[in-house]
Amino acid sequence: MAVAIWLSSGTMYPFAATWAFPIVTKSCGYLFNLDHPQYRAAFDMLDGAPRAAWEWSITLRRILYPLVAFPFMKVAGFVVGGFITSLLINLSALVALAVFVRKRWGDRAAIVSAWLLATYPGVTYWGALPYANATIVPVSCGLFILLTRIEERDDLKWIFGNALAMGVLVTAYDLLPYFAAAAVIVLAWRRRWRAIPIVAACMASGPLLVWFILSKVVRLNWSNINTEIYGLALHAYLHPGSIGGWVRSLAGFPRVVGQVFLFSNLVFLPVLFLMVLLIARARLSLVERALFIAIALVFLFNNLAPPDPATDQMRGAYIPRIYQPLGVALIVYCARVIGSLETLDRMKSRMVRAAFAFTLVANLSVAFGPVARLPWAGEIYQRFYFHSFLDSMDVNLTRYGRRPLGFCQPQ
């Protein structure tokens, strides 16, 4: 994982290289995405820079990562310090998930989960960046673990502590809708009605504290294009306009479901999940089902909305990446089933093992695709977040070279 993350840095950040017009740094010729100044602003705010240097950023609410990264950035700089932080966060998640799986399903399942996460290109897409995006996968792992701990015990004090930790983690990125809904589903299924308001309050406490500090103390405008998008979608539902136009806009919905499911976790992990599910026919756990349902509800809300230029970016196969948190459920499900293959007959066991081995190799081909010059890597990364052209990565890397952090070529 560490090597794959490093070889996805410098000119080879997938988030930057898949953008047709990346920012090229003058100092070393590294590539960054258009969002680079937005996230640099969070560091500048914490570093005491003049207000004009950061108050315009729309990402300041994702404050947990800048707080954790700040000491490293202060010593090593924004880019290198952020790389170190992101690497450590992702490696910590790898260990935490393996320990979590081992405790519940044994050594084999833990090893499978570690390999699936270590080779997962959803990590390398973000993992070297000095942005809050680098927390999407590791924080999703942490939230899944904490949600499972809540599901396992009835003790309200235990539930309170784990839900409060979830409230802290969701200040890293905009994952509250998925995991809060999943928590409510889990508790309602277990008929733990008294725990629902406790969990809701604890999970909301972190974002509310950030909102209070930024809006009331720092006096920033909380509302921006990111925070308003779901309100605009709700407005579209309440004012649908032409019903015929709304119905016609749903013609491609089945195709969108398939595309988003596959590309939200970069093809090979979702395919492995489907194969394991069909061959082994093992049931999803309650937490896995709850996360599926929660993410499906957000997907349906976005994609069944009446057409509206203000919200069309959330529809279709343009941005499957926002459903990436489902990946942790796919990994855990596959790990625990593959870890207990002795329960299957020999033929099914061989099929699952072959599918697992193929997935590791295929995922590695994407994770190391930029440096290995594998043409399908750029296309898969692009369909994960379709913000440019299918060949943008190949074009950029041919033009600017394939150099990870530490290999500098001033422009």
Residue 405 belongs to some domain of the structure = no
Residue 94 belongs to some domain of the structure = yes
Give the containing element (helix H, strand E) for 318. Answer: none
State how far the Cα of 178 lies from the Cα of 350, in Å rounded to an integer.
Answer: 35
Task: State the pLDDT at residue 228.
Answer: 83
Query: Containing domain of residue 349, as a range?
Result: 2-224+234-400
Residue 187 belongs to some domain of the structure = yes
The count of C-alpha atoms lying within 13 angstroms of the C-alpha of 192, restricted to the half-sphere facing its C-beta, is 21
Note the pLDDT tens digit of each residue in 41-57. 999 999 999 999 999 99
Residue 408 belongs to some domain of the structure = no
The count of C-alpha atoms lying within 13 angstroms of the C-alpha of 376, restricted to the half-sphere facing its C-beta, is 9
391 contact partners, CB below 8 Å, separation of at least 6: 378, 379
Place of tokens 């490696």: 91
Task: State the pLDDT at residue 318.
Answer: 92
Domains: count for the chain: 1
Residue 229 belongs to some domain of the structure = no
Measured from the Cβ of residue 304, the count of other Cβ atoms closer than 10 Å reads 14
Residue 340 belongs to some domain of the structure = yes
**Helix and strand counts by DSSP (H, E) for the chain:** 21, 2
Residue 409 belongs to some domain of the structure = no
Report how far Cα 257 is from the mean position of its chain's Cα atoms: 18
Low-confidence ranges of the chain (pLDDT < 50): none
State how far the Cα of 328 lies from the Cα of 154, in Å rounded to an integer.
Answer: 24
Q: Residue 405 carries which side chain, given as an amino acid letter?
A: L
Task: State the pLDDT at residue 343.
Answer: 87
Task: State the pLDDT at residue 23.
Answer: 97
Residue 411 belongs to some domain of the structure = no
Residue 24 phi/psi, 5° resolution? Answer: -110, 120
Task: State the pLDDT at residue 223.
Answer: 79
Task: State the pLDDT at residue 294.
Answer: 98
